[in-house]
Structure formats: C-alpha cells, structure tokens
A and B are shown apart, each in its own frame.
Chain A
Amino acid sequence: MELLSGGDILLRALHDAGVKYLWGYPGGAALHIYDAIFRQDKVDHVLVRHEQAAVHAADAYSRTTGEVGAVLVTSGPGATNAITGIATAYMDSIPLVVISGQVVQDKIGDDAFQETDMIGVSRPIVKHSYLVKRPEDIAETIAKAFYIASSGRPGPVVVDIPKDVTDPNTKVAYSYPEKIKLRSYQPTTKGHSGQIKRAVKHLLAARRPVIYSGGGVIMANGSEQLRELARMLNYPVTNTLMGLGAYPGSDRQFLGMLGMHGTFEANTAMHHADLILAVGARFDDRVTNTPAKFCPNATIIHVDIDPTSISKTIRADIPIVGSCDQVMQEMIDQIAASGKRPDGEAIGEWWQQIDEWRERHGLYTASRYGESGGEIIKPQDVIKTLYKVTEGKAYVTSDVGQHQMFAAQYYLFDDPRKWVNSGGLGTMGYGLPAAMGAKMAHPEADVACVTGEGSIQMNIQELSTCTQHQLPVKIINLNNQALGMVKQWQDMQYGSRYSHILYEDSLPDFVKLAEAYGHVGMKVTRYEDLEPAMRECFALKDRTVFLDVYVDPGEHVYPMHVAPGSMRDLWLSKTERT
C-alpha cells in the first residue's frame, strides 16, 4: 500500500470529499500542507487577501451550488481572521469545512508563536470541530467533517491540524472511508407521518392561510415542492430574507419578503392569518417583531430539520421535524390522495383582501418612494435597473445595510441559490468575497455585488484576488456617503444626531481605486446615465467593474417594523405609519 505524508493525505481526502476549490492563505503552521498543495493538481487553491474573505467566498460557493465549501488557513492570526466568516456561515447554516493549521503538539499550551486555541475560540460558532492528533486520523476526520457539515441542519466544521501531523517525513497508509456512521449523530430527516396528516387537515381547513418559508427550503432543495404545494392550494407565500428565490419573486402568489423591512402585504397578511405554515424558517426576531404580539389568531405548523428551532421563540401548534423537501412532498401526496381542496370561496376572499393591501401600500405603488431624476438617484431605482439589465437572472450578493434591504425588496429572485447575503450575522464585508465564490461556481453567469461605500471597504482588498483569479464580478456600489442604515436609526431614534456615520471627505475615489487593481471603474451621478452605465458594466463580460452610483443620501428603507409592536405595525414612510 502506498504511504503518504499527512499533508498529502489531507489533499487526497479533500479531493475524495469532492472539493474543487480550496480558499485559503498560507502561514507557518500550514506550510507542510501548502507544499502538498504544490505537488498535486486535483484541488485548486484560491489565494485570497484576507482569511475572512476565504471563508465568505467558500460560503457563497456553497450557497450557490449546494456543495460544501472548503477553506484552509494557518494558525493564530490566520485562524482568528477566519472567525467572522465562520460565524457568518454558522448563523445561516452554511456547510463549510475550515481547516486550520496549529502549532506542533509538543508546544500546544505553551503560548507558542502563532498559537491560538482555535477549537476553543470557534466552539460557539461551529456545528462541530476536530483536533487531529495523528496522520492516520486525517482522512477519516475529513470525511466526518464533510458529512457533519452537510447533513441535518448544515453548518461549519473546523478541523485543527497541528503541524507535526502533516510532517512530510512521517508517512502512513491512505484510505478514505466509504461511509460515515456516528452513533452520537443521526439527524432526523423524515417527518412524522401522523403529524403531517394533522398538519394537512389544518391546512385544508384554513380560511386565511400564509406559507412562510425560509432558508431551510433552499438548503433542502425544496423549492419545487414549495411551488407545487402553494399552487395546488392557491395559498399566498412570503419568504424570509434567507428564503428569497425559493418561491418565484415575480409570481402572483408571492407577497414579497416579510419581517422588519418586509412588505406591507406580507406582514399584514401574516398578522391576520388563521394558519401559518412555516417551512425552513426560524421565527427570527427580525421577522416576528414582538413575539407576544405575533400573529394572534394563527395556528402554527412549523416544519424544520432542527428540533431546537421549533418552539424556540414562537410556540408551534403542530411541530414537524424533518427535511423541508420531504415533508412538503408528503403534504402534497396526502392532499392529492385525499381529493380534498381548500374552501375556494374563503380563499378567494382572502386574496381579494391581500390584493387590496398590495394596491394600497405595496412596493410597486406609485407613492412608495420619491422619483429619480437629474442628480437624484433613488437607491431603489438602482436595484430595479440592475434587475432589468440582468433580466432577473444574475447571482446577486450583498453586504449589510440599506442597500441590502433594497436589493432584497426590488430584485425579484425567481430561482433559489441566486440571492446570497449574510442574513443571520449581518456581516459587512461579506458581499465582495461572496461574489468571488459565486463567480467561481458559475463563471458563465452574471454576478453582481450590491454594496455600500461603508461595507465594500471592509474587504476591498479582494479586488486584488479578482485580478489574480480573473473573477469578473460587477460591484454595484450604492454610494450614499454614509453608513446609511445606522443613519436611518439615528434619524428615527436619536433625533438625527449623526454619531460617526459620515466620512468627512475621506472616501476614496473608487474609480481610481478599481483602476489601480486593473479593473474598470465607473461613476454615475445622474439618473439618465444609470441604465446606460449599468448596461456597459454587464457588457464588459471579462472585466471586474466597480460601478459607483451616487444615490440619494436621505433615503430610508420602508416599510419598517415599529418596535415594540406586532407584524402589522409598520412605518410606511418617514411620516406615515399603519
């Protein structure tokens, strides 16, 4: 049998686990591994400019493909730089395997150079972690890590490997386990049939139903089932920020996003619902507003693969633990077999009511926001233009802030895995590295990073990675010259005392900055130039383009939940509320 060093075993195992791209950054404790990378050609290593970006890129690669993302960093600062990325993936249940180099085992605990207790530091933000102690254990640990990361409720797994374990002078036999079985880890995937039956009975009896679906449906590839179920029942669907694209954004039955910046019709329908089918969603505080006032009349059916998500913040009347796709499929089958359909008349009336709400305050009513023209470009119009120019087909990543909410509201995603953002952690700096991950996965597709001049500067160094690895992503910078979302809160709650949200003329010239990295920079300040510039930006297929769009700095994101309040308590504009 062929004998291999720990470093070579690691690379073999990654290949056997299906890894095509390994996002990373070298350093002392990872040097044996980097030498092993050099000596093989099966796994492509992508050198980033900051470890946080490596994790975000792998995370977006995973979100847009459904595969497990893979990362390699060195010990100490390399590992701690990865932490924000890992926490981001953890909050959004993204399957990643993050390999960190560690100091040699002899020195662990001695405060050795670049020693950080990575297992300890990452413990609250990983699904699981391993410290590998012998080269013989590498292959099996990698196989376990990939299995754990991708099964059940997915999440990041850290594998910490001390340098002596990858020593090129110690060679052992390689074998990759065909199957992984863990007595302590057996996630439930099949929903309880009896519970599903009960749920179906309530579903069919509903008069004011809403299907509220989240990121779990995307993770479970349950989009088809969601569409079929919603259509056979003719029930309205709302998606969380994480769930956008699971149900087509342009479909008549879609109410838009719900929650803090959700649509009037989605939030109001939720409030008045007599039945809520929550699938792959977790009643996050950015969705529910005040839990005690949440949807007072609704019977709640909650489907989720993670039992801890059920009845954590909002009590479920009918809990179903299982994979979203499987549970919805069984619902569809049971409904079809029963020959029963919902009360057409009641559902018709419900739709009438919803359409009336839609017309009154929907995102597309004329009064929704002010008009663009001349030097005024409304940020919402930038997203609408992006939607038009890319024909709704782009992969859109975003950072965090107002621009993120405008992107979520106005880009209508018709397909899952196309909207990529940090929903749970809200990590500024996510957008650009995420766009790199999406572009690596889908080189032929348009990839846009909707960002703000604040967020983009948190990982701007990745423009260099885009140059090196030829990642022609389009950066759409909604430049409002402020940390806009913070400014909005300061306007609404702190008497417009703008504490540290302005840059006092210190913003870089983004056009020149893009050019310095070898990219194309464009600046747009007039509305009539917006669409032509956007078209030019996407016509430059092989170039990374930085489109710096100066938008109305006074704009707020609406609707916005009034706190503390119920789902239907919303600010609709700076002066108007429900």
Chain B
Amino acid sequence: MRRIISVLMENEPGALSRVVGLFSQRGYNIDSLTVAPTEDQTLSRLTLTTQGDDRIIEQITKQLNKLVDVVKVIDLTEGAHVERELMLLKVRAGGAQRAEVKRTVDIFRGQIVDVGPAGYTVQIAGDSSKLDAFIATLPESDIVEVVRSGVCGLSRGEKSLRV
C-alpha cells in the first residue's frame, strides 16, 4: 500500500542523509521525497511516499523516530489528509494542437506559465493520480520535459505535526 510519511526534523546538515540512508540501509523504497525548512528555521519538514504492508510501515516509522535528529513522524495516510504534488511540463503545441492542449489544461485546472512558438510550459497541482491522468491525456511524443515536486501533505482537521 502507498503511504505518505511526514517527518519533522532538526534543520541540521546531515539530517537528510540519515533519513535517506536509513531507507537504503534497511531496504525500504522511497517513491518520492520533498524537504524544506518550515516557518521555524530550525526545523525541516520532509515528506516521503513509500510502499509497504502494515508491518513494514510500522518499522519505518519506528526507525525514523529513532534517528536522533527526528523530532516527530506521522503517517498521513492513516487518516483523512490533503495531499498535493506540483508538476511542470513542457509540451509541444503547434498549429491545431495548441487549442486542444489549452483546453485539457483548463479541464485539469492547470495553468500555462510560459508560451513559446512551438509549445507551452504547463503547471498542474493536485494529488499524484491527477498528475498521472494529465500526462496520460497527452501523446508521448508531445511531452518534451516533466518535473514533479514529490508529494507534500497535511492531515485534515485539528491534527497537526508540531513540536
């Protein structure tokens, strides 16, 4: 099962490599990873997506908690949550295609953030399956370049990850 794990950790050099190292050392997968400082500059928030049954996820969260730099860990997928991923794409769009691509971007509530004679740069945010769906609408040969930010998320309601 796909899980989104959020980690609050000390904003120290080396902290990220400990988290990443843990995953490779123990044979867990990381499908996506995003990290940046929070509003409190001494803390970073890292969000990663991984796969595993309950037992593996239990081990992963325990092992993350054991890292000395890690302040708190939650598995967002355990409860209701909001997740977002940002994607930027360069797509070929010339001639008759131009209007077609624009329409699809509108349907996905995306934005065209740069325009060139031969194509667009498109920005789309949403959960990962929405981004996948957008890509699926385009012929492969029209996609010039794709970059995705990796997933970030928050739990819904009162629950929060704070010190």
- In angstroms, Cα B55 to Cα A148, docked, is 28
| A184 with B10, Cβ < 8 A, contacts A123-B17, A123-B21, A124-B25 known | yes
Measured between beta carbons, the chain B residues less than 8 angstroms from A124 are: 21, 25
- In angstroms, Cα B111 to Cα A348, docked, is 78
Q: Does A129 belong to the interface (CB within 8 Å)? A: yes
Q: Which of B56-64, B95-103, B119-127, B135-143 contacts A (4 or more CB under 8 A)?
A: B56-64
Looking across the interface, which residue of chain B has its beta carbon closest to that of A306?
B66
Q: Does A338 belong to the interface (CB within 8 Å)? A: no
A184–B58 CB distance below 8 A = no
- In angstroms, Cα B63 to Cα A184, docked, is 14
- In angstroms, Cα B10 to Cα A182, docked, is 10
Q: Return the CB mask of B17-42 against A: 1 if under 8 Å, else 0.
A: 11001000100000000000000000
A148–B65 CB distance below 8 A = no
| A119 with B14, Cβ < 8 A, contacts A124-B21, A307-B62, A312-B59 known | yes
B68–A307 CB distance below 8 A = no
| A308 with B66, Cβ < 8 A, contacts A123-B17, A123-B18, A183-B71 known | yes
Task: Find B63's partner among A119, A123, A308 (CB 8 Å cutoff).
Answer: A308
Measured between beta carbons, the chain B residues less than 8 angstroms from A148 are: 68
B37 to chain A, nearest CB (A): 15
Q: Does B70 belong to the interface (CB within 8 Å)? A: yes
B25–A184 CB distance below 8 A = no
Q: Does A128 belong to the interface (CB within 8 Å)? A: yes
B43 to chain A, nearest CB (A): 9
- In angstroms, Cα B64 to Cα A113, docked, is 35
Q: Return the CB mask of A413-427 against B: 1 if under 8 Å, else 0.
A: 000000000000000
| A184 with B9, Cβ < 8 A, contacts A128-B68, A148-B68, A306-B66 known | yes
B17–A120 CB distance below 8 A = yes
Q: Does B13 belong to the interface (CB within 8 Å)? A: yes
- In angstroms, Cα B22 to Cα A124, docked, is 8
Interface of A is mostly: mixed
Q: Does A367 belong to the interface (CB within 8 Å)? A: no
Measured between beta carbons, the chain A residues less than 8 angstroms from B9 are: 184
Considering residues B10, B55, B62, which has the most beta carbons from chain A within 10 angstroms of its beta carbon? B62
Interface residues of B in 103-143 (CB under 8 A from A): none
B26 to chain A, nearest CB (A): 9
Measured between beta carbons, the chain B residues less than 8 angstroms from A127 are: 68
Q: Does B75 belong to the interface (CB within 8 Å)? A: no
B163–A307 CB distance below 8 A = no
Measured between beta carbons, the chain B residues less than 8 angstroms from A128 are: 68-69
B13–A184 CB distance below 8 A = no
B8 to chain A, nearest CB (A): 9
B17 to chain A, nearest CB (A): 7
B71–A129 CB distance below 8 A = no
| A131 with B163, Cβ < 8 A, contacts A183-B71, A306-B66, A308-B63 known | no
- In angstroms, Cα B150 to Cα A543, docked, is 65
A182–B66 CB distance below 8 A = no
A311–B68 CB distance below 8 A = no
Measured between beta carbons, the chain A residues less than 8 angstroms from B70 are: 184
A185–B25 CB distance below 8 A = no
B62–A308 CB distance below 8 A = yes
B163–A183 CB distance below 8 A = yes
Measured between beta carbons, the chain A residues less than 8 angstroms from B17 are: 120, 123
Q: Return the CB mask of A290-321 against B: 1 if under 8 Å, else 0.
A: 00000000000000001110011000000000
A185–B68 CB distance below 8 A = yes
- In angstroms, Cα B14 to Cα A312, docked, is 26
Task: Find A311's partner among B13, B14, B58, B71 (CB 8 Å cutoff).
Answer: B58
Interface residues of A in 170-203 (CB under 8 A from B): 182-185
A311–B69 CB distance below 8 A = no
Measured between beta carbons, the chain B residues less than 8 angstroms from A308 are: 59, 62-63, 66
Measured between beta carbons, the chain B residues less than 8 angstroms from A129 are: 14
- In angstroms, Cα B62 to Cα A306, docked, is 9
Looking across the interface, which residue of chain B has its beta carbon closest to that of A321?
B62
Looking across the interface, which residue of chain B has its beta carbon closest to that of A153?
B66
- In angstroms, Cα B55 to Cα A183, docked, is 27
- In angstroms, Cα B62 to Cα A312, docked, is 10
Looking across the interface, which residue of chain A has its beta carbon closest to that of B13?
A131
B33 to chain A, nearest CB (A): 17
| A184 with B71, Cβ < 8 A, contacts A124-B25, A129-B14 known | yes
A122 to chain B, nearest CB (A): 11
Looking across the interface, which residue of chain A has its beta carbon closest to that of B9?
A184
Measured between beta carbons, the chain A residues less than 8 angstroms from B25 are: 124
Q: Return the CB mask of A107-145 against B: 1 if under 8 Å, else 0.
A: 000000000000110011001110100000000000000
Measured between beta carbons, the chain A residues less than 8 angstroms from B69 are: 128, 184
- In angstroms, Cα B70 to Cα A184, docked, is 6
Measured between beta carbons, the chain A residues less than 8 angstroms from B13 are: 131
Looking across the interface, which residue of chain A has its beta carbon closest to that of B72?
A184
Measured between beta carbons, the chain A residues less than 8 angstroms from B10 are: 184
- In angstroms, Cα B65 to Cα A133, docked, is 26
Looking across the interface, which residue of chain A has its beta carbon closest to that of B21?
A123
- In angstroms, Cα B65 to Cα A123, docked, is 16
A159 to chain B, nearest CB (A): 13
A307–B21 CB distance below 8 A = no
Measured between beta carbons, the chain A residues less than 8 angstroms from B62 are: 307-308
Considering residues A182, A185, A308, A312, which has the most beta carbons from chain B within 10 angstroms of its beta carbon? A308
Measured between beta carbons, the chain B residues less than 8 angstroms from A307 are: 62, 65-66
Measured between beta carbons, the chain B residues less than 8 angstroms from A131 are: 13-14
Q: Return the CB mask of B63-90 against A: 1 if under 8 Å, else 0.
A: 1011011110000000000000000000
- In angstroms, Cα B25 to Cα A307, docked, is 18
A311–B55 CB distance below 8 A = yes
Q: Return the CB mask of A40-71 against B: 1 if under 8 Å, else 0.
A: 00000000000000000000000000000000
In the complex, besides A124-B25, A311-B58, 9 extra interface pairs with C-beta distance below 8 angstroms are A127-B68, A129-B14, A148-B68, A182-B68, A306-B66, A308-B59, A308-B63, A308-B66, A312-B59
Provide a sorted-by-A list of 27 A–B residue pairs whose CB atoms are within 8 angstroms. A123-B17, A123-B18, A123-B21, A124-B21, A124-B25, A127-B68, A128-B68, A128-B69, A129-B14, A131-B13, A131-B14, A182-B68, A183-B71, A184-B9, A184-B10, A184-B69, A185-B68, A306-B66, A307-B62, A307-B65, A308-B59, A308-B62, A308-B63, A308-B66, A311-B55, A311-B58, A312-B59
Which residues on A are within 8 Å of B, measured CB to CB? 119-120, 123-124, 127-129, 131, 148, 182-185, 306-308, 311-312
Which residues on B are within 8 Å of A, measured CB to CB? 9-10, 13-14, 17-18, 21, 25, 55, 58-59, 62-63, 65-66, 68-71, 163
Closest 8 CB pairs of A and B: A128-B68, A184-B71, A308-B62, A307-B62, A185-B68, A124-B25, A123-B21, A308-B63
